[in-house]
Amino acid sequence: MHFSSTRLSAVAVILTVCALLTGCGSAQLAATDAASIHTIQLSGFAEPHYRLQDRFVLRTDSVVPNKDVSFDSLLTSNGLHLGEEMKAAIAQALQSDGYQISDSGNADAILQVEFDGAPPNSEPMYEGAPTFQPEYSVHVSLLDAKTKKKVFRQFYVYRDNSVSPIDGTILLKPEPKFNFKRAEDLYADPKRAADGFRAAIPRVAQSVGTLLNKQH
């Protein structure tokens, strides 16, 4: 089935509005669930794939300044391993809260983390008028290891969004120093771009630690 880019973008906008109204951006950890959790296994944290796009009204075009070099490889070569770094930061935050991190499969709960593009995009992208920025979202879920019941979830969006979420989603805005005038400039300065992505890691980890702190 074929859709025009205009129609796809319009549908994406509608889906975004619906997502904002469903109240599914967060679900806090109940005290009774927290009391039974002592060890946590970390799952997910797969490295996201990046693409550059240029947006104007409802038209979306891909921006690929160098077809021989992917933006993923540029970020990796500049030291960014978003999944690994986020996993280490969240593990440290949870350990500071008194949780034990276990990879043996015998944990009381499983913390799952997935990266995605900021809605309504299916992949991380950079957009803005007049600037482009690092942008992605993070899905954090905590499941009871025995029942697989989801006892906690939090959704984070890392972007300079003009509209604040109303469903419990936590919006983290990139610092102005990570603004780029053109999408191509992210390729030209991949170290600053990588640092821009990395800047959200401690903020997400600190928030997860705070929300899952049994004393909170």
Encoded tokens for 175? 């610092």
> Which of 40 and 70 is assigned the larger pLDDT?
40
* 23 confidence band (pLDDT: 50, 70, 90): very low
Is residue 125 predicted with pLDDT exceeding 80?
no
What would the pLDDT profile of 145-161 be if each residue is shown by its tens digit?
A: 999 999 999 999 998 87
Which of the pair, 158 or 184, is modelled with greater confidence? 158
Tell me if the pTM is above 0.85: no
Give residue 182's pLDDT: 82
Per-residue CA distances from 44 to 121, 155, 212 (Å): 20, 15, 18
- For residue 198, is pLDDT > 90? yes
Asked if pLDDT for residue 113 goes beyond 50, the answer is yes
What letter does residue 192 receive in the DSSP assignment? H
Query: Is 141 strand, coil or helix?
Result: strand
The stretch 130-151 carries a mean pLDDT of 90
- Select the more confidently predicted residue: 128 or 75: 75
Chain mean position to CA 158: 6
Higher pLDDT, 18 or 137: 137
- The Cα 209–Cα 216 span in angstroms is 10
Domain range 5-212, its CATH number among 3.40.50, 3.30.1490, 3.90.550, 2.30.30: 3.40.50
Model confidence over 41-67: pLDDT tens digits?
Answer: 999 999 888 877 766 544 456 677 777
Residue scoring higher pLDDT (16 or 87): 87
How confident is residue 108, by pLDDT bands cut at 50, 70 and 90?
very high
Model pLDDT, residue 55 = 61
pLDDT score of 17: 41
Q: Which residues of 29-64 are buried (b: 16+ CB within 10 A; e: fewer)?
A: beeebbeebeebbbbbbeebebbbbbbeeeebeebb
Average pLDDT value over all residues in the chain: 81
Cα(109)–Cα(40) distance, integer angstroms? 5
The amino acid that residue 104 corresponds to is S
Report the length, in residues, of the chain: 216
